[in-house]
Amino acid sequence: MDWTWPDDDDELVTAYHEAGHAIVGCALGAQIDRVTLSQASMFDDEDGDLPRRFGDCIVNWGRVDPSDNWQRQRELLTILAGPVAEFVYQSGDEELLDVRAWQSDWQQAQLCAAALKPQAAQQIRLMREAIVRLRKIVASDPCWSAIAALADELMLGDEIEGEQVADLVRFWWSRA
């Protein structure tokens, strides 16, 4: 019997992307309200050249001073953690990456960087340094184990509540 299974690769890549946001955000002190994957892309009715995947991670920092540099740095790292986790999952193979799917993340990251550094060159340097730092952190344990576990949970199709994310962070960090 020849079984044919649908290609879940785009969905799995999205799961790692959203798990990256959630795990890094939670590890930096945010409450994750929920993490989900959508079977139907928000781009389905749009141009066929756009990404065909969609996920969502709601990060709640609670009551913080939005002008505090440490808060802006945490937000920047959390925003960039999705694309970085996706990159690590893709084994660093740049040919597999679809950076168009990250457009919203890049825009948010640029806003955070602009709030931290006044000049464009400084902002670019800050984002590059954050990405280099995140690649090391995300690719190593306990972070990678937690991201992989959350991505697996997301692939089951249910919405993941924040407490489940916090449990994963506690579980994997306790083993580090």
Q: In 3D, which of 96, 86, 78, 101 has the Cα closest to residue 24? A: 78
Distance CA 135, CA 147 (A): 13
The CATH classification of domain 8-41+49-174, taken from the options 3.90.1150.140, 3.20.20.70, 1.10.3720.10, 1.20.58.760: 1.20.58.760
In what order do the strands lie in the sheet containing 31-37? 55-60, 31-37, 160-161
Supply the pLDDT for residue 20: 97
Q: What is the DSSP string of 76-127?
A: HHHHHHHHHHHHHHTTT-GGG--GGGGHHHHHHHHHHHHHH-SSHHHHHHHH
Distance of CA 23 to CAs 146, 170, 172, Å? 7, 10, 11
Could you tell me the residue ranges of all domains in the chain?
Answer: 8-41+49-174
35-86: per-residue pLDDT in tens?
999 755 444 445 445 445 588 999 999 998 878 999 999 999 999 999 999 9
- Residues forming a β-bridge with 35: 57, 160
- Token pair listed for 17: 């992307």
* pTM recorded for the entire structure: 0.86
C-alpha 37/C-alpha 41 separation (Å) is 9
Asked if pLDDT for residue 161 goes beyond 90, the answer is yes
Distance CA 117, CA 114 (A): 5
Examine the pLDDT at 24 and tell me if it is beyond 90.
Answer: yes
